[in-house]
Structure 1
Amino acid sequence: MADNRPDLSDTERDVLKALWEHGPCPVRKLLEVFQDQGRLWAYTTLQTLLTRLTGKGYARSEKSGTALNYEATLSKEEFLQDRLTALADDVCDGTSSPLMLALVEGGKLSAQEIEQLRAMLDHLEEEGKKPQKGDR
Structure 2
Amino acid sequence: MTHTPFSKPTDAELEILQVLWQYGPCTVRFVNEQLSQTKEVGYTTTLKIMQIMHEKGLVKRNDESRTHVYEANVSEETTQKHMLGKFLDMAFRGSASKLVMQALGNHKASKEELNQIRKLLDKIEGGEK
Pairing of 1:13-52 with structure 2 (within 5 A): 13-37=14-38, 39=40, 41-42=42-43, 44-52=44-52
Tell me which residue corresponds to 2:106: 106
**Structure 1: gaps spanning 5 or more residues:** 129-136
Q: Could you tell me the percent identity over the aligned residues?
A: 27
Q: Distance in 2 between matches of 1:127 and 1:103?
A: 25
DSSP-derived class of the 2:63 partner: strand
CA distance 1:36–1:109, change in 2 (3 Å): closer
After superposition, residues 80-99 of structure 1 pair within 5 angstroms as: 80-99=80-99
**Structure 2 residue 57 is matched with structure 1 residue 57:** yes
- TM-score w.r.t. the length of structure 1 is 0.74
Structure 2 Cα separation of the partners of residues 32 and 103 of structure 1 = 31
Verify: 1:6 aligned to 2:11, yes or no. Answer: no
More displaced 10-residue stretch of structure 1: 31-40 or 46-55: 31-40
User: Any stretches of 5+ residues in structure 2 without a counterpart?
Assistant: none
Q: Which residue in the other structure is 1:131 paired with?
A: none
- Does residue 79 of the first structure (1) align with residue 90 of the second (2)? no
Amino acid at match of 1:13: L
The structure with the larger Rg is 1
- Please give the TM-score of this superposition, normalised by the length of structure 2: 0.77
Q: Aligned letter for 1:6?
A: K
Please provide the CA RMSD for this pair.
2.4
CA distance in 2, matches of 1:103, 1:40: 30
Count the aligned residue pairs. 124
Contact between 1:61 and 1:70, CA under 8 Å: does it hold in 2?
yes
- Checking the alignment, whether the CA contact within 8 Å between 1:20 and 1:76 is kept in structure 2 is yes
Distance 2:125 2:36 in 1: 48
CA–CA separation in structure 2 for the residues paired with 1:27 and 1:33: 10
Secondary structure of the corresponding residue to residue 127 of structure 1: coil
Which letter does structure 2 place at the counterpart of 1:125? E
Higher relative contact order (CA 8 A, sep 6+): 1
Q: Distance in 2 between matches of 1:11 and 1:57?
A: 15
